[in-house]
């Protein structure tokens, strides 16, 4: 009884004090945090925006509001501008809001405010990102240069490696990081193919990251993994059946995701930026925080498809309805 009475008295005192003096609410400062990367070997470029709150101007001294980090869809106008020798090339390209789930990383958190554009990134170009808040009119911007030696289209024509013969598929002059696959946490297996429709040719691909989407009975370091049924099944699930077009398999690239200069600086400060609630220690944006940089998918091993593999793609039970040409160049 004495314990219950004590608790009652404490509660009564707290309520009395609360009634006598109004709470002094902190003045929150809303700050936008942006993550955006461009890749000359990707057909789609993504951007993510979330917000954090601070009680002062120092980004490391902040208070987080965990249920308010996400902006509503279409809260921003986002544009990408290309520059050559300091001159604007063409018109600014717009990003559009999308729903997206991705591997663990900057775009993986639920309810992300994510934008994308299908513009092609050109090598040896400089890019400016502009993000405009529709309500406030405030603009955040950053600049980055394209990184890497081969574009997506050029990778289709680069000479394939012979089966199980590893060689440096691409030169990377001036790159200071390691190009040894064993120095990287994961690699990307990219299946390259052409699509033909209405007289046009499209460069298409499907990426598989073994550490994120492991396939049954396949080891991450197995160079023959693309010959397993589980891999063909994975491709069939990610390539749409469309009887109005034709396809032709090109090859399979083993790739490493290499960071450009801006992204390297960001990673050195914070190695695993997966939390949407923090202020990044490194930022190259004006008017906000975050990173606008480049990455590159470096092909360290290119696999030339054997004749029987091409026929397996065309006639095998998993991809038979996807209209891939066989080794004779014929469709069924």
Q: What is the pLDDT of residues 237-296, one digit of tens each?
A: 999 999 999 999 999 999 999 998 888 877 777 644 445 455 667 789 998 888 999 999
Is 70 exceeded by the pLDDT of residue 51?
yes
Q: In what order do the strands lie in the sheet with 29-38?
A: 96-98, 113-117, 45-54, 29-38, 289-303, 246-259, 188-197, 200-208
Question: Do 50 and 69 form a contact (C-beta atoms < 8 A)?
Answer: yes
Considering only residues 49 and 81, tell me which one the structure prediction assigns the higher pLDDT. Answer: 81
Distant-in-sequence contacts of 21-27, Cβ < 8 A, 24+ apart: 26/55, 26/63, 27/55
Decide if pLDDT at 64 tops 60: no
Q: Is 107 helix (H, G, I), strand (E, B) or coil?
A: coil
Nearest to 314 by CA among 305, 301, 323: 323
Give the model's pLDDT for residue 56.
53
Which one has a higher pLDDT value, 280 or 149? 149
Average pLDDT of the chain?
79
Categorize the per-residue pLDDT at 104 as very low, low, confident or very high, splitting at 50, 70 and 90: very low
Does 313 have pLDDT greater than 90?
yes
| Residue 61 pLDDT level (bands cut at 50, 70, 90) | very low
Q: Above 60 in pLDDT, residue 110?
A: no
Residue 10 has pLDDT above 50, yes or no: no
What is the side-by-side order of every strand in the sheet holding 139-145? 87-94, 76-84, 126-133, 139-145, 285-286
State yes or no: pLDDT of 103 exceeds 60.
no
Two structure tokens written together for 324? 């891939």
CA 290 to chain centre: 15
Nearest to 51 by CA among 34, 63, 37: 34
pLDDT band at 15 (very low <50, low <70, confident <90, very high): very low
Q: Which is higher by pLDDT, 180 or 40?
A: 40
Residue 208: both structure tokens together: 């598989």
Confidence of residue 18 (pLDDT cuts 50, 70, 90): very low
Tokens matching residue 312: 């397996």
Radius of gyration of the chain (CA): 25
Task: State the pLDDT at residue 236.
Answer: 96
Give the C-alpha distances (Å, rounded to integers) separating 310 from 85, 158, 165, 250, 332: 44, 18, 18, 9, 14
CB 17: neighbour CB atoms within 10 A? 9
At residue 68 the predicted structure's pLDDT band, cuts being 50, 70 and 90, is: low
């Amino acid at each position: 009884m004495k314990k219950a009475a004590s608790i009652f008295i404490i509660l009564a005192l707290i309520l009395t004090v609360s009634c006598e003096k109004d709470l002094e609410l902190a003045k929150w400062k809303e700050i936008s945090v942006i993550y955006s990367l461009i890749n000359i070997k990707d057909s789609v470029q993504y951007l993510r925006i979330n917000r954090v709150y601070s009680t002062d101007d120092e980004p490391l001294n902040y208070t987080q509001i965990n249920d308010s980090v996400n902006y509503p869809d279409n809260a921003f106008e986002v544009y990408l501008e290309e520059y050559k020798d300091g001159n604007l090339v063409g018109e600014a390209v717009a990003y559009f809001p999308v729903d997206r789930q991705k591997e663990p990383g900057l775009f993986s958190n639920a309810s992300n405010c994510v934008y994308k554009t299908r513009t092609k990134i050109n090598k040896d170009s400089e890019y400016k990102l502009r993000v405009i808040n529709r309500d406030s009119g405030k603009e955040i911007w950053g600049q980055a240069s394209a990184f890497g030696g081969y574009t997506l289209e050029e990778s289709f024509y680069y000479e394939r490696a012979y089966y199980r013969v590893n060689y440096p598929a691409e030169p990377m002059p001036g790159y200071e990081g390691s190009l040894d696959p064993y120095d990287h946490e994961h690699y990307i297996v990219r299946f390259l193919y052409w699509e033909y429709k209405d007289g046009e040719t499209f460069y298409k691909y499907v990426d598989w990251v073994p550490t994120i989407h492991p396939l049954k009975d396949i080891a991450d370091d197995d160079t023959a993994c693309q010959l397993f049924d589980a891999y063909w099944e994975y491709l069939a699930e990610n390539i749409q059946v469309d009887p109005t077009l034709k396809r032709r398999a090109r090859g399979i690239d083993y790739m490493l995701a290499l960071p450009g200069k801006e992204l390297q600086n960001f990673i050195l400060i914070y190695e695993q930026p997966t939390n949407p609630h923090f202020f990044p220690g490194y930022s190259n944006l004006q008017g906000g925080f975050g990173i606008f940089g480049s990455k590159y998918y470096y092909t360290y091993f290119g696999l030339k498809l054997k004749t029987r593999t091409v026929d397996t793609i065309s006639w095998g039970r998993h991809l038979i309805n996807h209209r891939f040409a066989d080794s004779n160049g014929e469709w069924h």
